[in-house]
Amino acid sequence: MRRTRRLKSTVGLTAVLAVGCIPASDDSPFEVTEASIAELQEAMSAGQVTSADLVDAYLARIAAYDRDGPALNTIVRVHPGAREQAERLDQERIGGNVRGPLHGIPVLLKDNYDTFDMPTTGSTLALAGSVPPDDAFQVARLREAGAVILAKTNLHELAAGITSISSLGGQTRNPYAPRRNPGGSSGGTGAAVTASFGAIGWGSDTCGSIRIPSSVHNLVGLRPTKGLSSIDGIIPLSHTQDTGGPLARSVADLAVALDATVGVDDKDPATRALRGRALPRFMDSLDPQALSGARIGAFEAWLGESMAERPVTQVVRAALDAMVTAGADVMDVTIPDLDSLLARTGMIGLEFQTDFGAYVAATPGIPVSGLPEIVELGLHHEQMDDTFQRRTSDEARDEDEYQAVLARQAELRRALVAFMDENDLDAIAYPTLRQEPEVIGTAALGTSLRGAQVSSCFLAAHSGLPAISAPAGFTERALPVGIELMGRPFSDARLIALAYALEEATSRRRPPSRTPPLVYGVAPRPENIVVNAASTGPGSVTILDGLLELDVPGGTLDFSIEASGVAPEEVHAIVLQRRSGDAPHTVVSRLAGPGQAVAAGSLELSSIMLADLLDGRLELAVYTTAHPLGAVTITIDASGESPIEGG
């Protein structure tokens, strides 16, 4: 349904064009957009909604926004039995059995987590029909906790990159700015969770693949201490560095998910480190005062002031200031000899081919023998050519080199822990990514900044230390920024507490505009806005008539506007311009130029333009010979709170 509003203005008045959403009626479905696990659980307990209803609601959002609207392309497969799972769990609830906080909660899995009842593909065409014989450890724990496996999400093919493109899943897009990279390799999970396609989602992190998507999607994600969570049943990239875990819209949701899935697993030798150690209770660690008295070392070398880094650094510095306000002692630090400590500490090149080959050999029905055959048959996206060719070798692994890298990782870990001990630090802080995500198809996200690494992923990944990415805020271009906190081994609960206190102090979560709540089960329709405004001056009257049509999910503004009362040759321009407090107005788009009294077309809105429009910072203006500073100016207000009534 399209709505049309008609607004007029005269000299000395600013017309306000209101483009708010249709309010839900009292009998509208329960709103899952941005709903927390606790809110979903409360609604089910109160009988307001069932788990099956939640499945339907999330599937409706996937239908509206994953292929249509912003076309995020996050979902590889929906679980065919998702609603049946939910109905069984609803019956358990009716019978008085609620397994815990995840009972009936629909969740998303990165498509490298084994599931016995649907394919696990790594988003590669080579594994498109592979159904493993059993669940990954964490998936089994989720089922035991009563979670509903809703869908599998796209990832950078075989997790071997950070832009989330694959031969089976295609290119995932960022809900905040669909032309920009969604991070990776868990980019499908990150985009799907921030778009509320599920309550929470699982990813894996070998070198940033949980933290990078969390950063660019305004989410929170923990790379746990190596050994805290099992990687059994996750398609491997490097077993030494691989970890798995959730990405969430809030720290509380993250804590619920971690409590359900961490623990000792006989099939993952790394988890033996937990034997004799009490498991952390993440929900119990949620302390809004956790920053009071905390000591945070801001890693100055990664808080750069170059043109590319400055937008992110400003946001992270503001988050650090908020920590100070919340009682933390934040100091700039320099880690001695870090470059040399990090040199030649990566394991992916030494383990990928061998680990993946072992997974293939242990999984019945996979039609390829390993990475070399995938390369030989071309069963991968062309953007993986260089990576897969580089990782494929007929030569045996150099065991001396392998042991040397393990030793260097251990040395890096000792040095970082010693540095934190010497300076009595709770955590070391730095940007998760040191620049904004690039436009899809240009430079790879996080790989180079004039020759320097801009992703900070390897510090925790190569040392095995825990690190959490939490929302720090947004750049001036309305793009999310993450702040990463790295701690000592098994200080994961302390990191959760610090992130929770930061969240409580700042409320930095902001949902993407492109995936708003559905209206009676479908995406909001474009709204027509009638423009009718006039300005009088000495000897002249300028009238601006026309129609705007705003499509928020599609991110477009169609316009057909005519300036009358003035000769075309007297028109300088019809423009869309930004208002910013007392600052001068700036033009963001020229709709018509000199001599053109009619402006018509379609404008693709950038993330900042859409944010400005929805926040009431954009206006239409016509400039003429008689009024070179603006004959008519009309503010577009999308708050839905305008006192002007529609005609």
Q: In whole angstroms, what is the distance from residue 409 CA to residue 461 CA?
A: 9
Rounded to an integer, what is the distance from CA 558 to the centroid of its chain?
A: 28
The single-letter DSSP state of residue 295 is: E
Rounded to an integer, what is the distance from CA 326 to the centroid of its chain?
A: 26
14-to-18, 609, 619 alpha-carbon distances in Å: 13, 20, 10
The single-letter DSSP state of residue 639 is: S
525-to-546, 547, 553, 607 alpha-carbon distances in Å: 19, 16, 9, 19
Angle 442-433-326 from CA coordinates, rounded to 5°:
150
DSSP string, 75-122: EEEE-TTHHHHHHHHHHHHHTT---STTTT-EEEEETTB--TTS---T
Please give the structure tokens belonging to residue 287. 């302390």
Q: In whole angstroms, what is the distance from residue 465 CA to residue 458 CA?
A: 10
Q: Residue 289: beta bridge partners?
A: none
Q: In whole angstroms, what is the distance from residue 366 CA to residue 629 CA?
A: 68
Q: Residue 104: beta bridge partners?
A: none
Q: Residue 18: beta bridge partners?
A: 637
Q: 330 with 404: CB under 8 angstroms? A: no
Find tokens 């832009």 and name the residue: 163
| Strand pairing report for 200-205 and 106-110 | parallel
Please give the structure tokens belonging to residue 418. 């010693």
Q: Residue 244: beta bridge partners?
A: 204
Q: 635 with 17: CB under 8 angstroms? A: yes
Q: Residue 17: beta bridge partners?
A: 636
Beta strands (DSSP E) in 272-334 are 295-299, 329-333
Q: In whole angstroms, what is the distance from residue 147 CA to residue 99 CA?
A: 9
If DSSP codes are grouped into helix, strand and coil, which group holds residue 375?
helix
Residues annotated as part of the active site: 110, 185, 209
Buried/exposed 609-646: b ≥16 CB within 10 Å, e otherwise: bbbbbbebbbbbbbbbeebeebbbbbbbbbeeebeeee
Please give the structure tokens belonging to residue 107. 């969740």
276-to-227, 264, 271, 273 alpha-carbon distances in Å: 13, 10, 11, 8
